[in-house]
Amino acid sequence: MAVKNRLHRSELAVPGSNPRMLEKAPDAGADIVFLDLEDAVAPDDKALARKNIIAALDTYDWSKCAVSIRINGLDTHYAYRDLVDIVEACGDKLDTILIPKVGCAADVLFVATMLSQIEAYKGFKPINIHVLIETAMGMANVEEIARTCPERMEAMVFGVADYAASVRARTTNIGGANPDYGMLTDPDETGARAYHWGDQWHFGISRMVAACRAYGLRPIDGPFGDFSDPEGFRAAARRAAALGCEGKWAIHPSQVALCNEIFTPTEQEVTRAYRILEAMEQAAKEGKGAVSLDGRLIDAASIRMAENVVRQMNQIESRRNG
């Protein structure tokens, strides 16, 4: 079965066409590094990027992070060669394959079939899959995609830039806010009206999160384009975390630490989670189904949320100590 507890707080994008960035990637501090063959690589550089990635996987120590490759879209003639060349050469060093622009279950099944054949031929262990939901078709079929190939499917990523293009949304910054997406309040007693910005990506992320949680996958938020704006990144990441995402892309190394910070439970959250579990354990001994803690009711749902926090923190501590 697919790995269900891998940390995805930070997913660092590294162009396969840039050997210097490939060299630095294993030590960038990201939970996952995905070596990119798609958007970050020009058409004339695709073949060289594959060779660069194979060399990097064979040369550097990747034990500090999980490793993925983003293949080219299945609507191109590059995708099959991405899989054959890299997986045959280095499939034993890969944790996942990231499939872009997934529109239906058949896209996942195609890659899964290719992987099964290569793995059988080379004697490799199964490689997991995570997918980008970044088209109108992908969002329309997100539940179908989420339940496809459970033995490999691990995570979904909301690809905001291509999604915006697919639905013809107007955007001013990849993954950021749009001042046109807002509402006016009614006039107050002086006739003044306030304008409140909204989050135009709320629906897309929320729907993907629900599909992921329904079928045991991890939801990951995609890129924030302005890497010179850490506060804007923080706001976008906190929004994604509040909606249930477990991590976010970093398109620049400076964003990795921000991802890890925001998607790691705070000390206060961890302390409260343990207090909830202790309070509910005591309530169970007393035959109570619910109990009050700090003036607030906690019940079975509170236990599940607290257990999620503790489980994630244990994963993070295990990685730190590993």
Report the CATH superfamily, name and number, of domain 10-264: Phosphoenolpyruvate-binding domains (3.20.20.60)
- Give one word for 193, left, alpha or beta, with left for phi > 0 and alpha for psi -120 to 50: beta
**Binding residue positions:** 70, 134, 162
**Binding residue positions for substrate:** 70, 134
pLDDT of residue 265: 86
Rounded to 5 degrees, φ, ψ at 244 are 115, 0
- Give 70-118 pLDDT, tens digit per residue: 999 999 999 999 999 999 999 999 999 999 999 999 999 999 999 999 9
- Give 1-34 pLDDT, tens digit per residue: 678 778 899 999 999 999 999 999 999 999 999 9
pLDDT of residue 283: 72
Instruction: Output the six-digit token pair for 255.
Output: 């964003």
- At 299, the pLDDT band (50, 70, 90 cuts) reads confident
Q: What is the 3-state secondary structure (H, E, C) of 120-147?
A: HHHCCCCCEEEEEECCHHHHHCHHHHHC
pLDDT of residue 194: 95
For the chain, the average pLDDT equals 92
Evaluate the CA torsion angle 300, 305, 306, 307 in order and state its sign: positive
Q: Give me the mean pLDDT over the 185-192 stretch.
A: 94
pLDDT of residue 3: 80
Q: Give me the mean pLDDT over the 250-254 stretch.
A: 96
pTM above threshold 0.85: yes
Q: Domain coordinates of the chain in residue numbers?
A: 10-264, 268-321
pLDDT of residue 75: 95
pLDDT of residue 235: 95
**Binding residue positions for Mg(2+):** 134, 162
Position 294 pLDDT exceeds 80: no
Percentage above 70 pLDDT, the chain: 98
